[in-house]
Structure 1
Amino acid sequence: MHQYFIFNSIFLFLEHVIHILGTWNFYKKLGIKSWKIFIPIYNIFILLRIYKRSIWWIFLLLIPLTSTILIFILWMDLIYTFLKKTKVNLLLFFLSAGLYIYYINFFKKIQFLKIENIKKKEDHIGILLAVILSFITHTYIVQPFVIPTSSMERTLLVGDFILVSKVHYGLRMPMSPISIPFTHNNIFGNIKSYISIFQWPYFRFTPIQSVQRNDIVVFNFPKDSNHKIIDRKDHYIKRCVGLPGDLILIRKGILFVNYKKEKFFSEKQYAYFIKTENIPLNIEYLKNQMDIEDIEFFGEKNDEYFYQIMLNEKKASQVQNLFENIVFIKKDILPIHFKEHYIFPNHSNWNRDFFGPLHVPKKGELIKLSSKNIHIYNEILTYEKVKKLDLISKKYLKIKNNYYFMMGDNRHNSSDSRYWGFVPEDHIVGKPIFIWMSIDWDRENPLNIFMWKFRWDRIMRTIEGKHSYLSLFFLFSFVYSFFFLFKKK
């Protein structure tokens, strides 16, 4: 905690120095005495008073990330005080990431303007405050996400727009202070939306609740090699099936935790082989009427048709009863002797359906290293910040962090811990709490809005599906619209 706030203080001090260097002449032209310019926070307070902005804005300076936004707003105020408000000046300011003010400050002649003649800045102030408040909410409280893949079907569907609480598992403070608001890691292609020079240490506040077994969790993908800063790694969403200290075992596709069969939930999917004779399956009916999307046709031979479809047990039973020409329908379970490529850990003989036993590391425990398990814990040396050379002289490895084992509910179509290993605690982002919108789109062309269909039964619904607030949403919208249309002007 202390280390995080020390880094934060250093960053704010550097920001203070950058602000002074870039605005020195502006302050002088405004008639501000030199000694006042150097006082941190007070120099910002002076500008807020001059431009008649609320003094409460000073708190934006104390919040990580928003301090940069506040500085940019005040720099734009200063520029427009001494220069004409043109599109060219605005464009140069943003293309230079604000550094255009240095050019004006040192090389451009600016006309003197008395403080009394400065008009109150009211243009778009409501929109600006709304954007800042949204950014604070997005960064520190609740963040929206969209489900892009089918790895969590049928619990979460492609096209579900969800809200993720960042405070349930403890608010993780941002680690990259300089970034473009409302972006994650890339703007376009491989162009990063953040500057990695400044990186703060990991710090998390006390959680409201700890991660529970079978919780759906959003986390940063540990094996994302394109982004080194933890909170800028790609986002994944899976179900936490293994807690720190648990033993994971999979036999014939069935998960056992601490040798106990996992709790049944109806939405869990597997790949099913289906064979029909004489007549192929009605694919359009399966997709449009039964909401089954992952269908792969293998081919036809001697009037027999072969398919692989992702189904839960309920859907599998419905399909079998619906089509009389089905010869067989069975789960696609890999044989125990089949070694699947890219399975975790390396050099194991496991696959997705026969996996483990694997122990999930727990903070504080000592693990005896041997030739039999070194390939397992070799994966977490980076997270533990242990050099491989240090292992030569060590017989035991003391675990510094808690780890979790994640799996998708679409068990045969999910890149999860079975393939890339454990999730460290500092990679945990938050807990999904709400589906606020759900759109069934063409997965091959999702931008084709003419093919969009709203899933009304999923909109404004909790993740578990137990409660729906769609009717309350319509009621609120009606009352608000009625008030807005008939209020006195």
Structure 2
Amino acid sequence: MEVKTVHQEQPKKKKSAFREWLDSIVFAVVAATLIRWLFLEAYTIPTPSMENSLLVGDFLFVSKLHYGTRTPQTPLQVPLTHQKIWGTNIDSYLDWVKLPMYRLPGFSHVKNGDVVVFNYPDSLHLPADLRPNYIKRCIGIPGDVVEVRATQVFINGKAMENPQKMLQPYRVYTNESLDEKFFLKYDIWNRRNESPNVYPITELDSVRREMITVGYEVNTSADVAKKFQEMGMRVEPRILEKGERSEVIYPNSSLFDWNQDNFGPLQVPKKGETIQLTTENIAKYRDVIENYEYNDKVEIDGTTVKINGTAVSTYTFKQDYYFMMGDNRSNSADSRYWGFVPSDHIVGKAVFIWMSLDPEGSFLNKIRWKRLFHLID
């Protein structure tokens, strides 16, 4: 005898085209968000501070795995956004919930010479993980003593090897005018800068009032400067004198006569290291103590420090810090101007360029083909 079940299996209802499309979009967003958070994130270079190592218009991938992925401090945000919702001025996050930031294990640590993406620490009005993304070369790691002498970086008293394509300012004198085509040949004429890095300078004979030389101020590499010398040109590095204090240089104190070309010595804070709070150390590290160590209440009057109402004569750093500089040394807003990068602001390591577009290129030569899939060193 045939026995029939009481509840016959009902055929599954086929999803509508809209539902299938929506499910695909949700899956893609979730997958992209996880990849972007855990593994790789794409960035573009908008400014010339890392030229010629990285050019304006380079698109690169940044590895989160090298140094370890950070857990989000502000979890309530629109996926795949940073600060603003695309095409609007509307915040893409809510700061109702703020979580402690942790870092998952990575397979490397930030090393001297690494090209690093990090959150710009000086944007204190934003959560740490949503501050603007900067890219620079790591010059000093925790505990290092950083010094710049006539543009040459020294780490712990030893000269650091300069990046191969590092740019420096020079003044070049010739007996003939040089046109744009000449400078383009050596990748010097940079029309993308707000202030062009080639300036004609005319020297006149005081009696005849005739032009005797033409000078140009350029940002270029040491190799190109040497080539100019071999052509018979007079080449002079443009370097600020030691002791010529700049008010915009960190730590912005009259105690130090530092400038962008002659800076330090300055020790990079290291987690667990204790310092005496002398007048000089307060000037050097007050920004760290006030803004990046998560102290509840800090009062500094220049010579004394109080934390939670208690006067302290020593301070132990709670996290590691780094000193960053751009390869275009004379055109880079970096740690010489705004100080140290906290460990919890490190985003990842720049690994390779996957696309490069010349903003000034025509339709036929817009893509810089030689830079595609170029490893970053």
Residue number in structure 1 paired with 2:83: 185
Q: How high is the TM-score relative to the length of structure 1?
A: 0.65
Question: Which of the pair has the greater relative contact order for Cα pairs under 8 Å at 6+ separation?
Answer: 2
- Partners of 1:384 and 1:180 lie apart in 2 by 28
SS in structure 2 of the partner of residue 361 of structure 1:
coil
Q: Give, in angstroms, the shift of residue 197 of structure 1.
A: 1.8
Residue number in structure 2 paired with 1:433: 351
1:256 corresponds, among 142, 154, 161, to: 154
- Partners of 1:204 and 1:253 lie apart in 2 by 34
Residue number in structure 2 paired with 1:481: none
Q: Over residues 233-260 of structure 1, what are the superposed CA-to-partner deviations in whole Å (9 max), with x where a residue is unaligned? A: 0000111110101101111111110000
Correspondence 1:436-451 to 2 at 5 A? 436-442=354-360, 450=363
Residue number in structure 1 paired with 2:69: 171
Letter of the 1:269 partner, please give it: L
Does the Cα contact within 8 Å between 2:76 and 2:94 map onto a contact in 1? yes
Residue number in structure 2 paired with 1:29: none
SS in structure 2 of the partner of residue 317 of structure 1:
helix
Residue number in structure 1 paired with 2:282: 374
Does the Cα contact within 8 Å between 2:245 and 2:257 map onto a contact in 1? yes
The answer on 1:388 being equivalent to 2:298 is yes
- Partners of 2:14 and 2:248 lie apart in 1 by 64
Does the Cα contact within 8 Å between 2:180 and 2:189 map onto a contact in 1? no
The answer on 1:300 being equivalent to 2:300 is no
User: Which consecutive unaligned segments of at least 5 residues does structure 1 have?
Assistant: 1-114, 443-447, 465-489
Give the 4+ runs in structure 1 shifted more than 4 A.
115-119
SS in structure 1 of the partner of residue 330 of structure 2:
coil
Q: Give, in angstroms, the shift of residue 298 of structure 1.
A: 4.7
1:331 corresponds, among 237, 243, 261, to: 237
Residue number in structure 2 paired with 1:461: 374
Correspondence 1:117-266 to 2 at 5 A? 119-122=14-17, 123-124=20-21, 125-187=23-85, 188=87, 190-227=89-126, 229-266=127-164
- Partners of 1:276 and 1:233 lie apart in 2 by 46
| Number of matched pairs | 339
Q: Give, in angstroms, the shift of residue 454 of structure 1.
A: 1.4
Residue number in structure 2 paired with 1:282: 179
More strand by share: 2
Pick closer, same or farther for the CA change 1:451–1:317 going to 2, 3 Å: farther
- Partners of 2:198 and 2:84 lie apart in 1 by 33
Letter of the 2:92 partner, please give it: S
- Partners of 2:89 and 2:129 lie apart in 1 by 17
Correspondence 1:83-94 to 2 at 5 A? none
Q: Give, in angstroms, the shift of residue 126 of structure 1.
A: 3.9
Letter of the 2:76 partner, please give it: I
Q: Give, in angstroms, the shift of residue 337 of structure 1.
A: 2.5
Pick closer, same or farther for the CA change 1:185–1:451 going to 2, 3 Å: farther
Aligned-pair RMSD on alpha carbons? Answer: 2.2
Pick closer, same or farther for the CA change 1:352–1:451 going to 2, 3 Å: farther
What percentage of residue pairs aligned between the two structures are identical?
Answer: 38
- Max radius of gyration: which structure? 1
Q: How high is the TM-score relative to the length of structure 2?
A: 0.84
Residue number in structure 2 paired with 1:316: 225
Letter of the 1:260 partner, please give it: K
Q: Give, in angstroms, the shift of residue 185 of structure 1.
A: 1.2
Letter of the 2:102 partner, please give it: F
2:165 corresponds, among 253, 257, 267, to: 267
